[in-house]
Amino acid sequence: MKLASLALALIVAASPLASIAQDVTPSADEQILLKRVQTNKRGVYADYLKMTDAESKAFWPVYDEYEAQLKKIDDRYMAMINDFAAKYDTLTDAEATAMLKERLTLERKRVDLKAKYTDRIAKVLPGKKALRFSQLESRIDNLMRRNLYSIIPLA
């Protein structure tokens, strides 16, 4: 067992760094979900959560608040990415440090917001549906970020 772990560690250590930045094309299922999310994210949640009328009535206002708050964070993040793209060839260490600080701040805000609203959603939906919401939100977020990160060059 230790030999297998050591062999795996050596293979990983010997791999060129370029392998880290391989093309990560989403699977067919992921591509379908990504396309649906880009077209109608609310529809994706409605399809997967299969809420009753009462659950829908309680869920959608909370979800809409969450999305509105999330949009503010995402807009700041996109502004930072656009700033990075504009300064890519002339980026200074000071600018890079400021961008790093902003990125970490936005990631923290995003996690805090997700936790706050997941708790609120867990109060208006049954446990399984609240968990499913959280799983969907993570899956969608991961797909969207992977899609975005695949086009952003390293500094």
Confidence of residue 5 (pLDDT cuts 50, 70, 90): very low
- Tell me, yes or no, whether 81 lies in a domain: yes
| DSSP labels, 21-85 | G---PPPHHHHHHHHHHHHHHHHHHHHHH---HHHHHHHHHHHHHHHHHHHHHHHHHHHHHHHHH
137: domain CATH number is: 1.20.120
d(C-alpha 154, C-alpha 84), whole Å: 10
- Tell me, yes or no, whether 5 lies in a domain: no
Please report the pLDDT score of residue 40 as a whole number: 86
d(C-alpha 8, C-alpha 2), whole Å: 10
- Tell me, yes or no, whether 13 lies in a domain: no
- Tell me, yes or no, whether 51 lies in a domain: yes
- Tell me, yes or no, whether 61 lies in a domain: yes
d(C-alpha 80, C-alpha 95), whole Å: 11
- Overall average pLDDT of the 53-82 stretch: 95
- Tell me, yes or no, whether 132 lies in a domain: yes
- Tell me, yes or no, whether 14 lies in a domain: no
- Tell me, yes or no, whether 19 lies in a domain: no
Closest among 86, 76, 82, 64 to 106, alpha carbons compared: 76
Question: How many domains, the chain?
Answer: 1
Tell me the per-residue pLDDT of 93-135, one tens digit each, with 9 for 90 and over.
Answer: 999 999 999 999 999 999 999 999 999 999 999 999 999 999 9
Residue span of the structural domain in which 46 resides: 26-149
Higher pLDDT, 61 or 144: 61
Structure tokens at 42: 């609310």
The residue type of 136 is L
d(C-alpha 54, C-alpha 39), whole Å: 26
